[in-house]
């Protein structure tokens, strides 16, 4: 029916409609190009020579193709340390996030859970009120977490919003009969969680893992506040020093030949660095896209 | 909300079993579930509720040696200092300017984009636009601001190159990044670049729920596509629009820290200092003496936010009564 209508439509497009379609398509193409251009530019610059980049000769495609920018990135001591740190924070942080979110969402999804309302209220309140920056800092300081690995994992252990989304997912996808029959068979609550709930929640675990993971990868604020030792800095803090504060420390480039080679290296390094720092996220993007969108749908409909 | 309906229907089974049992016996029966809650509850108490009690240092003269409870009371001194300081007017005005400008630009544009995408008949083209425009959402703030700095560099950036191409002169243009007045525009429009595509998703979802029969009926009545956008598509997403508008308006007094802080430099500080960055600077970058003062500013901001949220809620209730009578 719908297909027929649109087919018929194509023949009958009025002049007014034609104008509308043309205007809309033009707008969308322009917008898409505006979004895409900076991305393409960064990518092209990162594969150009340092001299071409700083002379402004790169406009769309790589000029004087070279991978020296990437060589510089991988020889930069701080960047490598930052990369390793971020990988650790992201992997371990996300694992803890998922674990805690699930063990919290599961009991609260059980209809026969005692004091369920009370527990929920405790969590929901924190979505609207908080201690603020300084009191939180004092508490974390008091716990001795400053400048430790765990300060990047523990203070953001669970997002209440994510927990509610996971809880809604469990409640709406696993029928109550499953619980009842499992209980009749003598399945304990712990077993039920590991044998039934977790395997059936793979979809939501994937969504949450992506959201938490990207969050860890992109975060710089907590690291800036709670970490002062450069050896613990995540990649984003190193990026901030180089990209935003413009502190390219030539001593950190371990290859003296490279330093002498050209000053235009600094700009080239920045573009290559952006690509390297964003690559993992863009690599999962095609797979993640549909999950992400599903994730915000679940959240927006039931949250 | 939604789950109370479900649980009332379902808890019958649970209730039958629990009838006549004391809470202790139910606790024993549920003990594994309560054990599950142990870590989350401990987490939420330590990292959310303990800091909430720490807010009292806004009314004290906090000294690290005496701790939160032992520090002497100071009354409203810190609030008075803030109200009298020359920064007070500046940070409030900046915060409001940025968030209102941001709301005016960032709120309607995703709706327009979603309506446009919805009229596209070529599914492939639609999908391509969506895929491309979602990408910037996944870039980190540091990368986006870094790109901005790099692009607007008068000497090596695209801005400098294009300027020289157009004017034909060999000299470098004036720096945009360092001009105080340009901060707000750069902030808002780079946000559009990063989030416009992503923010339209929710409206696209709402639009996909529109019954095609409505469109067919309108077509038969001779409505043009544009007319159908206004009379079929737009009304379908009005509920989504109003919910998001309330949520956005409730946070008018809060401008996120991360991006503003990255975009600040000594020259644009007059226009770019907002409450959240000011709290950070007072509290954590200028020595331990100012913990109480920074907390007081933060608390003041939270109270305003609370009032705003309640106000907007009340307003929306009023208008939704009107609107139901209108439609």
Given a cut of 60, whether residue A260 has pLDDT beyond it is no
Report CA-CA distances (Å) from B222 to B115, B216, B228, B233, B244: 20, 10, 10, 16, 33
Check B142 against A54: CB less than 8 A apart: no
Is residue A69 a contact partner of residue A128, using CB atoms and an 8 Å limit? no
**Cα separation of B190 and B150, whole Å?**
13
Block residue for tokens 């907007």: B312
Q: How many CB atoms lie within 10 A of CB A95?
A: 14
**Cα separation of B118 and A20, whole Å?**
12
Contacts of A267 in chain B (CB under 8 A): 150, 156
Check B143 against A243: CB less than 8 A apart: yes
Check B44 against A193: CB less than 8 A apart: no
Q: Region B97-118: what's the mean pLDDT?
A: 94
| Partner-chain residue, chosen from B44, B116, B202, that has the shortest CB–CB distance to A27 | B116
**Cα separation of A27 and A33, whole Å?**
10
Given a cut of 60, whether residue B321 has pLDDT beyond it is no
Going A174 to A178 to A180 to A184, the CA torsion angle's sign is: negative
**Quick one: closest CA in B to A53, which residue?**
B156
In this complex, is the C-beta atom of B313 within 8 Å of any C-beta atom belonging to chain A?
A: no
**Which two tokens mark B252?**
């008018």
Check A20 against B119: CB less than 8 A apart: yes
Q: Which of B37, B316, B325, B146 is nearest to A101 (CA)?
A: B37
Given a cut of 50, whether residue B164 has pLDDT beyond it is yes
In this complex, is the C-beta atom of B14 within 8 Å of any C-beta atom belonging to chain A?
A: yes
Given a cut of 90, whether residue B194 has pLDDT beyond it is yes
In this complex, is the C-beta atom of A229 within 8 Å of any C-beta atom belonging to chain B?
A: no
| Partner-chain residue, chosen from B141, B225, B226, that has the shortest CB–CB distance to A218 | B141
* A139-146 contact pairs (CB < 8 A, 24+): A139/B46, A139/B47, A139/B50, A139/B51, A139/B54, A140/A226, A140/B47, A142/B67, A143/B46, A145/A226, A146/A226, A146/A227, A146/A228
**Cα separation of A134 and A142, whole Å?**
12
**Cα separation of B147 and B162, whole Å?**
16
In this complex, is the C-beta atom of A230 within 8 Å of any C-beta atom belonging to chain B?
A: no
**Cα separation of B279 and A130, whole Å?**
15
- Residue A72 confidence (pLDDT): 82
Check A126 against B129: CB less than 8 A apart: no
Contacts of A133 in chain B (CB under 8 A): 276, 279-280, 283-284, 294, 298
**Cα separation of A25 and B251, whole Å?**
34
Given a cut of 60, whether residue B2 has pLDDT beyond it is no
- Residue B309 confidence (pLDDT): 81
Check B54 against A293: CB less than 8 A apart: no
The A residues from 24 to 63 touching B (CB cutoff 8 Å) are 24-25, 27-28, 31-32, 34-36, 38-39, 41-42, 53-56, 59
Contacts of B294 in chain A (CB under 8 A): 133-134
User: pLDDT tens-digit profile of B53-84?
Assistant: 989 988 988 887 888 888 888 888 889 989 99
Check A126 against B51: CB less than 8 A apart: no
Q: What is the mean pLDDT of chain A?
A: 84
Q: Which CATH class is domain B85-137+183-326?
A: mainly alpha
- Residue B261 confidence (pLDDT): 92
Block residue for tokens 């001593």: A251
Q: Region B96-124: what's the mean pLDDT?
A: 93
Q: Region A275-282: what's the mean pLDDT?
A: 88
- Residue A302 confidence (pLDDT): 41
The whole-angstrom distance between A249's CA and the closest CA on chain B is: 17
Check B44 against A5: CB less than 8 A apart: no
User: pLDDT tens-digit profile of A78-117?
Assistant: 888 999 999 999 999 999 999 999 999 999 998 888 888 9
Q: Region B304-322: what's the mean pLDDT?
A: 77
Residues in chain B, overall count: 327
Block residue for tokens 């294009």: B162
Q: How many CB atoms lie within 10 A of CB B197?
A: 24
Lowest mean pLDDT among A292-301, B38-47, B115-124, B187-196: A292-301
CATH topology of domain A77-252: MetI-like fold (1.10.3720)
In this complex, is the C-beta atom of A124 within 8 Å of any C-beta atom belonging to chain B?
A: no
Q: Which helix (H) or strand (E) holds B211?
A: none
In this complex, is the C-beta atom of B87 within 8 Å of any C-beta atom belonging to chain A?
A: no
Please state the three-class secondary structure of chain A as a single string: CHHHHHHHHHHHCCHHHHHHHHHHHHHHHHHHHHHHHHHHHHHHHHCCCHHHHHCCCCCCCCCCCCCHHHHHHHHEHHHHHHHHHHHHHHHHHHHHHHHHHHHHHHHHHCCCCCCHHHHHHHHHHHHHCCCCHHHHHHHHHHCCCCCCHHHHCCCCCCCHHHHHHHHHHHHHHCCHHHHHHHHHCCCCHHHHHHHHHHHHCHHHHHHHHHHHHHHHHHCCHHHHHHCCCHHHCCHHHHHHHHHHCCCCCHHHECCHHHHHHCCCHHHHHHHHHHHHHHHHHHHHHHHHHHHHHHHHHHHHHHC
Q: How many CB atoms lie within 10 A of CB A210?
A: 21
Give the pLDDT band of residue B6 (cuts 50, 70, 90): very low
Q: Region A158-176: what's the mean pLDDT?
A: 89
Q: For B84-99, give one letter per residue: b (16+ CB within 10 A) or e.
A: eeebeebbbebbeebb
Instruction: Tell me what ipTM this predicted complex has.
Output: 0.84
Given a cut of 80, whether residue B263 has pLDDT beyond it is yes
- Residue B190 confidence (pLDDT): 94
- Residue B287 confidence (pLDDT): 61
Please report, for chain B, the start and end positions of each structural domain, with discontinuous segments joined by +: 85-137+183-326
Work out the angle at residue B105's Cα, subtended by the Cα atoms of residues B99 and B109, and round it to the nearest 5 degrees.
140
- The secondary structure of chain B in percent helix, strand, coil, rounded to multiples of 5, reads 80, 0, 20
Residues 6+ apart with CB under 8 A from B133: A31, A32, A35, B196, B197, B198, B200
The B residues from 26 to 65 touching A (CB cutoff 8 Å) are 26-27, 30, 32-34, 36-37, 39-41, 43-44, 46-55, 57, 62
Instruction: To the nearest 10°, report the CA torsion of A170, B195, A217, B274.
Output: -110
Give the pLDDT band of residue B10 (cuts 50, 70, 90): very low
Q: What is the mean pLDDT of chain B?
A: 84
Please report, for chain A, the start and end positions of each structural domain, with discontinuous segments joined by +: 2-69, 77-252
- Residue A64 confidence (pLDDT): 82
The whole-angstrom distance between B142's CA and the closest CA on chain A is: 6
Check A274 against B212: CB less than 8 A apart: no
- Residue B178 confidence (pLDDT): 79
Given a cut of 80, whether residue A247 has pLDDT beyond it is no
**Range of A12-21, A82-91, A174-183, B203-212 with top mean pLDDT:** A82-91
**Cα separation of A212 and A216, whole Å?**
6
Given a cut of 50, whether residue B9 has pLDDT beyond it is no
Check A131 against B50: CB less than 8 A apart: yes
Which SS3 state, helix, strand or coil, does residue B68 take? Answer: helix
In this complex, is the C-beta atom of A3 within 8 Å of any C-beta atom belonging to chain B?
A: no
**Cα separation of B148 and B179, whole Å?**
14
Going B197 to B198 to B202 to B207, the CA torsion angle's sign is: positive
Block residue for tokens 């990368």: B143
Given a cut of 60, whether residue B327 has pLDDT beyond it is no
In this complex, is the C-beta atom of A74 within 8 Å of any C-beta atom belonging to chain B?
A: no
- Residue B247 confidence (pLDDT): 78
Q: Which of B138, B139, B164, B160 is nearest to B149 (CA)?
A: B160
- Residue B116 confidence (pLDDT): 94
**Which two tokens mark A118?**
């009370």
Q: Which phi and psi angles does B280 have, rounded to 5°?
A: -60, -45
Q: Region B98-127: what's the mean pLDDT?
A: 93
Size of interface A-B (CB pairs under 8 A): 274
- Residue B188 confidence (pLDDT): 94
Q: Region B1-11: what's the mean pLDDT?
A: 43
The whole-angstrom distance between B225's CA and the closest CA on chain A is: 6
Contacts of B202 in chain A (CB under 8 A): 296, 300
The whole-angstrom distance between B253's CA and the closest CA on chain A is: 14
Block residue for tokens 């139910």: B26
């Amino acid at each position: 029916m719908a297909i027929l209508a649109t087919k018929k439509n194509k023949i009958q497009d009025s002049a007014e409609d034609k104008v509308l379609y043309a205007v809309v398509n033009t707008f969308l193409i322009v917008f898409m190009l505006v979004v895409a251009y900076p991305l393409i530019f960064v990518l092209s610059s990162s594969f150009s020579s340092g001299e071409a980049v700083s002379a402004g000769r790169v406009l769309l495609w790589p000029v004087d193709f070279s991978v020296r920018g990437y060589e510089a990135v991988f020889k930069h001591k701080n960047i490598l340390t930052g990369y390793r740190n971020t990988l650790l924070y992201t992997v371990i942080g996300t694992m803890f996030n998922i674990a805690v979110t699930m063990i919290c969402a599961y009991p609260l999804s059980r209809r026969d859970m005692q004091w369920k309302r009370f527990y929920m209220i405790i969590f929901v309140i924190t979505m609207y009120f908080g201690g603020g920056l300084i009191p939180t800092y004092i508490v974390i300081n008091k716990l001795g977490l400053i400048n430790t690995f765990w300060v990047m994992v523990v203070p953001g252990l669970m997002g209440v919003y994510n927990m509610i989304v996971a809880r809604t997912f469990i409640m709406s996808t696993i029928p109550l009969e499953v619980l009842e029959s499992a209980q009749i068979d003598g399945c304990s609550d712990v077993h039920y969680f590991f044998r039934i709930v977790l395997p059936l929640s793979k979809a939501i675990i994937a969504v949450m893992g992506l959201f938490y993971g990207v969050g860890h990868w992109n975060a710089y604020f907590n690291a800036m506040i709670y970490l002062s030792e450069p050896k613990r800095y995540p990649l984003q803090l190193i990026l901030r020093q180089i990209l935003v504060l413009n502190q390219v420390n030539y001593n950190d480039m371990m290859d003296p030949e490279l330093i002498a080679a050209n000053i235009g290296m600094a700009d080239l390094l920045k573009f290559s660095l952006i690509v390297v720092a964003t690559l993992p996220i863009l690599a999962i993007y095609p797979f993640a896209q549909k999950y992400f969108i599903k994730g915000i749908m679940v959240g927006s409909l039931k949250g | 909300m939604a789950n109370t309906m479900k649980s009332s229907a379902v808890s019958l089974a649970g209730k039958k079993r629990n009838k006549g049992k004391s809470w202790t016996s139910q606790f024993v029966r549920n003990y594994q579930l309560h054990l599950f809650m142990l870590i989350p509850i401990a987490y939420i108490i330590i990292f959310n509720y303990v800091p909430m009690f720490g807010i009292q240092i806004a009314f004290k003269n906090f000294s690290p040696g005496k701790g939160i409870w032992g520090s002497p009371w100071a009354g409203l001194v810190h609030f008075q200092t803030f109200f009298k300081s020359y920064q007070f007017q500046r940070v409030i005005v900046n915060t409001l300017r940025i968030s209102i400008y941001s709301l005016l630009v960032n709120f309607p544009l995703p709706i327009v984009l979603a309506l446009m995408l919805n009229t596209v008949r070529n599914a492939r083209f639609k999908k391509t636009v969506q895929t491309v425009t979602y990408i910037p959402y996944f870039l980190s703030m540091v990368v986006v601001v870094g790109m901005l700095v790099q692009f607007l560099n008068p000497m090596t950036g695209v801005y400098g190159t294009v300027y020289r191409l157009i004017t034909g002169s060999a000299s470098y243009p004036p720096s945009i990044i360092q001009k105080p007045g340009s901060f707000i525009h750069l902030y808002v429009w780079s946000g559009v670049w990063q989030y416009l595509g992503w923010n339209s998703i929710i409206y696209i979802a709402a639009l996909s729920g529109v019954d095609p029969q409505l469109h067919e009926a309108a077509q038969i009545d001779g409505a043009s596509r544009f007319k159908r956008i206004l009379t079929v598509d737009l009304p379908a997403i009005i509920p989504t629009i109003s919910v998001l508008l309330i949520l956005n308006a409730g946070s008018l007094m809060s401008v996120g820290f991360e991006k503003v802080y990255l975009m600040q430099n000594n020259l644009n500080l007059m226009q770019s200092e907002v409450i959240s960055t000011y709290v950070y600077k007072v509290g954590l970058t200028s020595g331990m003496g100012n913990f109480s003062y920074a907390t007081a500013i933060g608390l003041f901001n939270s109270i305003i936010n609370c009032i705003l949220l309640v106000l907007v809620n009340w307003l929306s209730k009023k208008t939704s009564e009107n609107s139901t009578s209108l439609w």
